[in-house]
Amino acid sequence: MYGNIDRIEPPDAPSDATSDAPADGDGGGMVAAARHAEFDRLIADDQRIEPRDWMPDGYRKTLIRQIAQHAHSEIIGMQPEGNWITRAPSLRRKAILIAKVQDEAGHGLYLYSAAETLGVDREDLLDQLHAGKQKYSSIFNYPTLSWADMGAIGWLVDGAAILNQVPLCRCSYGPYGRAMVRICKEESFHQRQGFEILHTLSRGTPAQHAMAQDAVNRFWWPSLMMFGPPDESSAHTVQSKAWGIKRFGNDELRQRFVDMCVDQARVLGLDLPDPDLRWNAERGHHDFGVIDWAELNRVIRGDGPCNADRMARRVGAHEDGAWVRDAADAYAAKHSRDTAAVA
Amino acid sequence: MSGQRGWPLWEVFVRARRGLSHQHVGSLHAPDAAMALRNARDVYTRRGEGVSIWVVPASAIAASSPDEKDAFFDPALDKAYRHPTFYDVPEGVSHL
């Protein structure tokens, strides 16, 4: 699960251009210019950049920020669904939900591993998450109030994530693209199981149908926000596109998502909560209502319904797991002594 | 929380099925080889992606430097005669 969350933050510096400029004066300038030219050539040829290649500081920083936020989103994303594992309505649903939450943990690990190829430590990234210095997708700051929310998250949240993620499989940075290939393969099960939950509830009793509709009502707008702000106010889109990190604009992906969901909602027998949603034959797309960006900014700033809760749970889990890490360390130390003694 | 920092990095290689070689799939941190193998199973083969796993300490891998790649690989580039397409084959010759 993931949104274009990094697009929402203001850029941390006006430009990295100065730090990428070749040094003047000595021969080092020539080498730097040649390296930069080689980087530009690879990007222009739609080739991949690999970990030990030279890359501009801005490219590296952008990737670290984006991959770290993506990784954080995966592991924080375990919480809204973990909330329902003990209350899943059947053994089948429980087994599926456990597998899905385990996948989210795995996706986090693929991504931390990709981020580390850029020269950062996973522990440092986690520290920054725990200190509130790095963000995760705002969608996970909404509560999961009913079982139907597991369906809405799978259908809408994972559906939006897939649209964001599929183009990232062709990201110019090799390790990130390879991690995304793996993740996308696994996400499609997530989306389908969500759709199936909603489909089942929608055709159930009137109360179950109402529960499904309520979940869709609450998750529809936050899902649209997952694509990030409109392109004209998106700080990073232009540069990220030039670098081949990002392939499509936020609005284009959002439109694709709306068009896709309208037909699927019809099959589900559920309404999308937008009175302005209608087919526009001229554009060949659905028009939809105005998104409340003030709400998104509130949630990103930390005033969402669950921000404090999610962080407290995350930090608590990390601290509660300390004894496991210590035990693994102690075992490794003892074992290496044994091995040394034998040798 | 003594040792949570600095667990060594392991590169993970998975043999997808018999008849194929192990392929690099990613990396992970673990305190020792046994944990690295277990974690690699959980992280990289949740859907039967492999029948065999290698974990290798990342520090044990020696790699060519991207900076010297031209000089390093140049000797292979000017020997077109190492490829079968270098040779002219007369009309009508088959199985060659």
Is the predicted pLDDT of residue A295 greater than 80, yes or no?
Answer: yes
Cβ within 8 Å of A, B 22-61: 26-32, 34-35, 42-43, 46-47
Is the predicted pLDDT of residue A28 greater than 90, yes or no?
Answer: no
For residue A123, give the nearest of B4, B32, B34 by CB distance.
B4
Yes or no, beta carbons of A329 and B3 under 8 Å apart: yes
* CA nearest neighbour of B52 among B41, B36, B39: B41
Mean pLDDT to the nearest integer, B2-14: 79
Yes or no, beta carbons of A326 and B47 under 8 Å apart: no
Is the predicted pLDDT of residue B2 greater than 70, yes or no?
Answer: no
A103, A109, A181, A337: best mutation site toward chain B, by most B Cβ within 10 Å?
A109
Is the predicted pLDDT of residue A57 greater than 90, yes or no?
Answer: yes
Yes or no, beta carbons of A122 and B5 under 8 Å apart: no
Q: What is the pLDDT of residue A27?
A: 55
Is the predicted pLDDT of residue A256 greater than 50, yes or no?
Answer: yes
**A121-161 confidence digits (pLDDT tens):** 999 999 999 998 999 998 999 999 999 999 999 999 999 99
Q: Across chain A, what does the average pLDDT equal? A: 89
3-class secondary-structure state, position A181: helix
Q: What is the pLDDT of residue A76?
A: 96
Q: Name chain A contacts of B46, Cβ cutoff 8 Å.
A: 99, 102-103, 106, 186
- The alpha carbon of residue A302 is apart from the nearest alpha carbon of chain B, in Å, by 29
Q: Name chain B contacts of A340, Cβ cutoff 8 Å.
A: none
Is the predicted pLDDT of residue A259 greater than 60, yes or no?
Answer: yes
Question: Which of A1-5, A52-56, A254-258 is predicted most confidently?
Answer: A254-258
Question: Is any Cβ of chain B less than 8 angstroms from the Cβ of A12?
Answer: no
How many other CB atoms are there within 10 angstroms of residue A121's CB atom? Answer: 15
Mean pLDDT to the nearest integer, A197-226: 97
Is the predicted pLDDT of residue A21 greater than 80, yes or no?
Answer: no
Yes or no, beta carbons of B42 and A106 under 8 Å apart: yes
Q: What is the pLDDT of residue A9?
A: 39
Q: Name chain B contacts of A319, Cβ cutoff 8 Å.
A: 1
Mean pLDDT to the nearest integer, A93-103: 96
Yes or no, beta carbons of B63 and A52 under 8 Å apart: yes
How much is the ipTM here? Answer: 0.84
Q: What percent of chain A has pLDDT over 90?
A: 76
Q: What is the pLDDT of residue A335?
A: 83
Domain ranges of chain B: 4-82
For residue A123, give the nearest of B5, B43, B65 by CB distance.
B5
The lowest-confidence range among A35-49, A77-91, A288-302 is A288-302
Question: Is any Cβ of chain B less than 8 angstroms from the Cβ of A81?
Answer: no
Yes or no, beta carbons of A52 and B43 under 8 Å apart: no
Distance (Å, rounded) from C-alpha A285 to C-alpha A279? 6
Question: Is any Cβ of chain B less than 8 angstroms from the Cβ of A189?
Answer: no
Q: Which residue of B has its CA nearest to A112?
A: B28
Q: Which residue of A has its CA nearest to B29?
A: A113
A84 backbone dihedrals φ, ψ, rounded to 5°: -110, 5
Q: CA A339, A340, B2, B5: dihedral to nearest 10 degrees? A: -80
Domain B4-82, classified CATH 3.10.20.520, yes or no: yes
Is the predicted pLDDT of residue A20 greater than 70, yes or no?
Answer: no
Yes or no, beta carbons of A106 and B3 under 8 Å apart: no
Is the predicted pLDDT of residue A26 greater than 60, yes or no?
Answer: no
The lowest-confidence range among A18-27, A148-157, A159-168 is A18-27
Question: Is any Cβ of chain A less than 8 angstroms from the Cβ of B68?
Answer: no
- Categorize the per-residue pLDDT at B11 as very low, low, confident or very high, splitting at 50, 70 and 90: very high
Is the predicted pLDDT of residue A291 greater than 90, yes or no?
Answer: yes
Yes or no, beta carbons of B28 and A332 under 8 Å apart: no
Q: Name chain A contacts of B38, Cβ cutoff 8 Å.
A: none
Question: Is any Cβ of chain A less than 8 angstroms from the Cβ of B85?
Answer: no
Yes or no, beta carbons of B26 and A178 under 8 Å apart: yes
* Residue pair A269/A202 in contact by the 8 Å Cβ criterion: yes
Q: Name chain B contacts of A106, Cβ cutoff 8 Å.
A: 42-43, 46
Q: What is the pLDDT of residue A342?
A: 62
Q: Can you read off the two tokens belonging to residue B18?
A: 């018999």
Q: What is the pLDDT of residue B75?
A: 78
- Quote helix, strand, coil % in chain A, to nearest 5: 70, 0, 30
Q: Which residue of B has its CA nearest to A185?
A: B47
The lowest-confidence range among A9-18, A63-72, A174-183, A219-228 is A9-18
A215 backbone dihedrals φ, ψ, rounded to 5°: -65, -45
- Categorize the per-residue pLDDT at A341 as very low, low, confident or very high, splitting at 50, 70 and 90: low
Q: What angle do CA A23, A47, A173 make, to 5 degrees?
A: 75
**B21-76 confidence digits (pLDDT tens):** 999 999 999 999 999 999 999 999 999 999 999 999 999 999 887 777 778 888 77
- Categorize the per-residue pLDDT at B13 as very low, low, confident or very high, splitting at 50, 70 and 90: very high
* CA nearest neighbour of A300 among A127, A150, A134: A134
